[in-house]
Structure 1
């Protein structure tokens, strides 16, 4: 190992930690990048890909090697480990950088950064001068920033710098897409390091009583009891440190309290640096480290021989329809379970206690969903637009972003003025992107500064950012005051660093244009917090549903509720910073908010305020109101003096569609005309119109327009003259032949005018007494002779005795039987032997 600046960085195998399985494939990896410019390195966790590969690349290439890690904790830990291997202080030739924190200067040979920070650097200068290689670590975790970074790096290498070396590392062998994305003419070579892993014995340790997730994704305390009991068992049965996986910080606290008699060290992302270092440093005292999925693959916790896995993880989910995001507790995937178990076998044989059954394990998903499939994509969409690839057009993304999520993201960005109508980034959008925070927070910083002052805008935005955290309560201004007082030193330090970072290079007048509701120095702190939150989340402005109610209506349309003991309960109006909705629940739970007033709500969510005339059919009547609303929140609702006749007509149409045509008064004449029109349409086609229910509903304006304009309630519908309306459908001039084509009545041989009965497409029916058609040999036909009439021949009592469409056949074959059956019963009516020669009559024979 060489200690001077120009010496080799990769230590020889005598240095502890330098002789790991990846070392055997380092020559092949450096040769691959020299010949192809890119490579994929597959190696299991703990095999040395994060600690040895960057040093080997730095020795082989001229320039800086930048290593991108998915998490801040992993970034700092990897840099510390790399510096220790070189035998030099951190910041000499190995350093790190993340948002608001950096170690090292211009002489760095290896710099470990967060993926998000490297995306920002690429946006500022895509050529990355002085950088020889980029290592994108833990690609298998499929974080959104890592997917974006991979696509940007591939684009830079193809179009700007073909000398830039890109190496993607993965703990799984699913590398086909990775290899294709990194390759130019051909897929990038894949180098696999095989590690002789120590055996890890699996103990299936399900709880004695099933402990399903509680409403809201909460973890049943009985499961935490069980996890703690399994840890106690492991401390008795096994040697070495115990690494415990639970889904989040609340569960870390719960298990830690249950193991109060042991040396328990929490490990999670929002701890102070010293607390994290303590958990990651070797110790002579036996430890129980309780952590989240942060320690699955990108961190090394020394001394671990036992893993206790709760089987749960917490993942981000976004409800695109409501604009709400949440961390959802869910079962781990099988691949994650294997990653966790592998932590027990890094240094020696170990054991994993899985707090679920072998049967449940078989039901687990193979892999967790990539973040691009489940996350809020607003920042992702802004980065793509800033890169010049709106929607990812032309970029080699591992997975295409889901259309609903991208549509929601671009709609939000347009509303903030960050994108134009074509999806291209605006100058305002570029300013937002440079802040390095979510677009919502960037918008709040830009537009909040002239309203509350630059310092307070930065402080509240820093509080809303991921690093600052939200504290235990839902009172955001109270949390702000606590941070100012420094009550939580670790959180206060992170918050102050973020405030400082946001202020670098940002003038006090970052927002121009737009009328401020208040002068910044006149706004109380609580209201200032509400203004900034409302600017970031205008769709979460909320108003109480009643005096003293904990139930609120948010402007985005979703209901929300405070905890019954919340100090915010007296507030009529809230600007909600964090709310999540459990599956199956109608209302969201408010996790963090600030009180505001109606005037502030109107000002910060001005784009959502609109006045509209609402004329609708409601409870069998037309209601006419003028409504002023802020999104889904109704501000004012008054009667409308002069409603628009067209809107009234539309409401009447809606009422008729809801109630159906049966609510109209159908006279016999209207019914008969409708059937005749239906008959003509069926047998003659155009121009005769269809008059079935669907057709009449679709063409209401054509035949009932004037009548509907006068409707005000259900009684008016029943008064409509349907016959007059149907006559408007008669096609002219063809309508002049209606009585010829589909006559209402037919003249029969007796001289009577007998009504025809129509039934849509069926042949019409002529019900007539048999004696009235004596001598009639030709069956009558309608529709220009196309459709024979069906004759219902009636007895003197007007009961059918024969049905026929062929009179000739009836006289020859059927009449004699009818005559034999009925002449005795009806002697006063003629029953001649030859009906064709008899005189037709409608009357009986007179008595002598």
Structure 2
């Protein structure tokens, strides 16, 4: 049964706009219902023919929004309404509304440039300006101009600069809807940036305040990652006031059933500790207070590693406002920020778009495989820096993916089907030939995140490591052995500490390794149980990171 939502009032305006143009830009506040109702309006009012694809920046939002619409329409998820995220596809030939993450749409457009059977592409939360959404929007506009004038393109968000997007699209109409927001009281705390106090302890202190001062309402705590989330949960559970309160994590790598527990209504009071997956799109009923650490893991190109890395950084003012708004969905709320007002005013208004801060190699490779040979002439929504484009082309040339003229090579075409950085794609292809796929997948997983080893350890820990490590002069082989040790210990924090292993980092490395293994198996690469030749593993590493090769001139340094 559908409940009335503010976006419902936009129905007549949407019908009229679709009758005039096929490019729309919508700004609607968080909680207005745009993510669930707009796709249904397009379908029920026959405004498009064919499938309606809705892009979501996050996997958890794609899955939960599809489930919500299926529930509203009283249909089976995977029938009329479905979704596709990495390694998970829930749809059928009857699916008319399909939620996908942006990278998947980009790959669909590479394999099917005319998007046969698709009537509309809706870019939800476009203000986040992910690299894949920027490129997909440019490809969709180009497709509409050249072959598919019937294709409906729609960009929408709660904080979108509608005029800028409409101007770039050309011949676009803008729409706006009201929201249903209650006032939220903002409170700042003074926590110096150089403070040594753990952020989870500071957050737990504010949760304690809310539990003491407010007799009802759930609490949403924002943390940058899963490690900080679990430490926060531990700190909150130790509070005397937490008795009878459900304390739940919410982040992208959680199993679906645990994600559902966090977002579904509960008879008791809840404290949900989440990453920025709870910042937009998702509705968590009952939240009346937000405790915000003001941090997020942001992807940036690391010139020393030659790949993107996730850095913990302060969020922008716009993100902080989105987070605060979560407390005002069902009634007046409060938001406690773990930083000062002076610090807040010094923060950037918005995040820097991904296209200005991440590596472009995978995107350029995908465009090349789609027939777009010269990235400099691509109709970018916002053109990347020339230096970043040249760096990406240099990496692809080093990997053998493009020739001296920048044209795709046969090995480059094989690499382009892997939804992974070209370095890892090259490593996996080599591993398939050298019979070491399993080990290379684990090394790729280790390279994805933070180091699993603590840097400073005592002699006892060093001796424990020595009993496990295989010394051969490589950084990776000891880590492979210690990763297996952490797996055997089920990532127990105390047990891993005895070996100087960061249990949560090891868990994340194992999860990434499993994803790479599924990628390899999906592409038909042979996975053997035999112990691989160390020389073969080193060769795969060199093929993926040949430009990172160095010679130590002084063994004492």
Q: Please indicate, yes or no, whether the TM-score normalized by the shorter chain is above 0.5.
A: yes
Q: Deviations over 1:575-606 (max 9, x none)?
A: xxxxxxxxxxxxxxxxxxxxxxxxxxxxxxxx
- Secondary structure at the aligned position of 1:305 is classed as strand
Q: How does 1:358-397 map to 2 (within 5 A)?
A: 358-390=341-373, 392-397=375-380
Alpha-carbon offset, residue 508 of structure 1: 4.8
* Matched pairs, number: 508
- Secondary structure at the aligned position of 2:237 is classed as coil
TM-score for both structures, normalised by structure 1: 0.56
Q: Deviations over 1:77-120 (max 9, x none)?
A: 11111111111221121111112111121110111111101111
CA–CA distance in structure 1, aligned partners of residues 266 and 105 of structure 2 = 34
Which has the higher relative contact order, 1 or 2, with Cα contacts under 8 A spaced 6 or more apart? 2
**Equivalent position of 1:416 in the other structure:** 399
2:30 corresponds to 1:45: yes
Alpha-carbon offset, residue 492 of structure 1: 7.0
Structure 2 contact 445–513 (Cα < 8 Å) conserved: yes
Q: Deviations over 1:680-714 (max 9, x none)?
A: xxxxxxxxxxxxxxxxxxxxxxxxxxxxxxxxxxx
- Secondary structure at the aligned position of 2:347 is classed as coil
Equivalent of residue 230 in structure 1, options 196, 206, 215: 206
Assess, with a 3 A threshold, how the Cα gap between structure 1 residues 286 and 472 changes in structure 2: closer, same or farther: farther
Alpha-carbon offset, residue 179 of structure 1: 1.4
- Secondary structure at the aligned position of 1:242 is classed as strand
Equivalent of residue 165 in structure 2, options 171, 174, 178: 178
Alpha-carbon offset, residue 124 of structure 1: 0.3
Alpha-carbon offset, residue 242 of structure 1: 0.5
Q: How does 1:74-89 map to 2 (within 5 A)?
A: 74-89=61-76
CA–CA distance in structure 2, aligned partners of residues 230 and 375 of structure 1 = 35
CA–CA distance in structure 2, aligned partners of residues 19 and 170 of structure 1 = 20
Q: Deviations over 1:275-299 (max 9, x none)?
A: 2121122111111111122211132
CA–CA distance in structure 1, aligned partners of residues 443 and 84 of structure 2 = 21
**Equivalent position of 1:506 in the other structure:** 524
Assess, with a 3 A threshold, how the Cα gap between structure 1 residues 534 and 283 changes in structure 2: closer, same or farther: farther
Assess, with a 3 A threshold, how the Cα gap between structure 1 residues 491 and 205 changes in structure 2: closer, same or farther: same
Structure 1 contact 462–499 (Cα < 8 Å) conserved: no
**Equivalent position of 1:205 in the other structure:** 189
- Secondary structure at the aligned position of 1:266 is classed as strand
Assess, with a 3 A threshold, how the Cα gap between structure 1 residues 492 and 88 changes in structure 2: closer, same or farther: farther
CA–CA distance in structure 2, aligned partners of residues 303 and 27 of structure 1 = 31
Structure 1 contact 444–536 (Cα < 8 Å) conserved: yes
CA–CA distance in structure 2, aligned partners of residues 377 and 27 of structure 1 = 41
Q: How does 1:643-658 map to 2 (within 5 A)?
A: none
**Equivalent position of 1:782 in the other structure:** none
Moved more, 376-385 or 65-74: 376-385
Q: Deviations over 1:445-498 (max 9, x none)?
A: 112211125x536744774696xx779448542476479879479997886565
- Secondary structure at the aligned position of 1:444 is classed as helix
**Equivalent position of 2:438 in the other structure:** 456
**Equivalent position of 2:496 in the other structure:** none
| Structure 2 unaligned spans of 5+ | 454-475, 492-506
- Secondary structure at the aligned position of 2:384 is classed as coil
CA–CA distance in structure 2, aligned partners of residues 370 and 348 of structure 1 = 33
CA–CA distance in structure 1, aligned partners of residues 546 and 62 of structure 2 = 34
CA–CA distance in structure 1, aligned partners of residues 291 and 305 of structure 2 = 37
Assess, with a 3 A threshold, how the Cα gap between structure 1 residues 338 and 75 changes in structure 2: closer, same or farther: same
Structure 2 contact 233–247 (Cα < 8 Å) conserved: yes
- Secondary structure at the aligned position of 2:67 is classed as helix
Equivalent of residue 131 in structure 1, options 112, 118, 122: 118
Alpha-carbon offset, residue 182 of structure 1: 2.8
Structure 1 contact 202–351 (Cα < 8 Å) conserved: yes
**Equivalent position of 2:222 in the other structure:** 245
**Equivalent position of 2:50 in the other structure:** 63
Higher fraction of strand? 1
CA–CA distance in structure 2, aligned partners of residues 51 and 342 of structure 1 = 19
Structure 1 contact 148–397 (Cα < 8 Å) conserved: yes
Structure 1 contact 67–134 (Cα < 8 Å) conserved: yes
2:108 corresponds to 1:90: no
Assess, with a 3 A threshold, how the Cα gap between structure 1 residues 291 and 132 changes in structure 2: closer, same or farther: same
Moved more, 27-36 or 331-340: 27-36
Larger radius of gyration: 1
CA–CA distance in structure 1, aligned partners of residues 414 and 155 of structure 2 = 31
Structure 1 contact 264–289 (Cα < 8 Å) conserved: yes
Structure 1 contact 386–425 (Cα < 8 Å) conserved: yes
CA–CA distance in structure 2, aligned partners of residues 153 and 387 of structure 1 = 13
CA–CA distance in structure 2, aligned partners of residues 78 and 211 of structure 1 = 37
| Structure 1 unaligned spans of 5+ | 1-14, 214-219, 510-519, 541-554, 556-630, 637-848
**Equivalent position of 2:277 in the other structure:** 294
CA–CA distance in structure 2, aligned partners of residues 436 and 461 of structure 1 = 17
- Secondary structure at the aligned position of 2:224 is classed as coil
CA–CA distance in structure 2, aligned partners of residues 347 and 35 of structure 1 = 36
2:232 corresponds to 1:255: yes
Equivalent of residue 102 in structure 1, options 75, 89, 92: 89
CA–CA distance in structure 2, aligned partners of residues 88 and 439 of structure 1 = 40
**Equivalent position of 1:193 in the other structure:** 177
CA–CA distance in structure 1, aligned partners of residues 304 and 512 of structure 2 = 33
Assess, with a 3 A threshold, how the Cα gap between structure 1 residues 464 and 53 changes in structure 2: closer, same or farther: farther
**Equivalent position of 2:128 in the other structure:** 141
Equivalent of residue 477 in structure 1, options 480, 483, 486: 480
Structure 1 contact 134–165 (Cα < 8 Å) conserved: yes
Alpha-carbon offset, residue 148 of structure 1: 1.2
TM-score for both structures, normalised by structure 2: 0.84
CA–CA distance in structure 2, aligned partners of residues 37 and 394 of structure 1 = 25
**Equivalent position of 1:24 in the other structure:** 9
Alpha-carbon offset, residue 523 of structure 1: 5.4
Equivalent of residue 338 in structure 2, options 341, 355, 370: 355
Higher fraction of helix? 2
Alpha-carbon offset, residue 35 of structure 1: 2.3
RMSD of the TM alignment (CA)? 2.9
Assess, with a 3 A threshold, how the Cα gap between structure 1 residues 34 and 361 changes in structure 2: closer, same or farther: same
**Equivalent position of 1:284 in the other structure:** 267
Structure 2 contact 110–367 (Cα < 8 Å) conserved: no
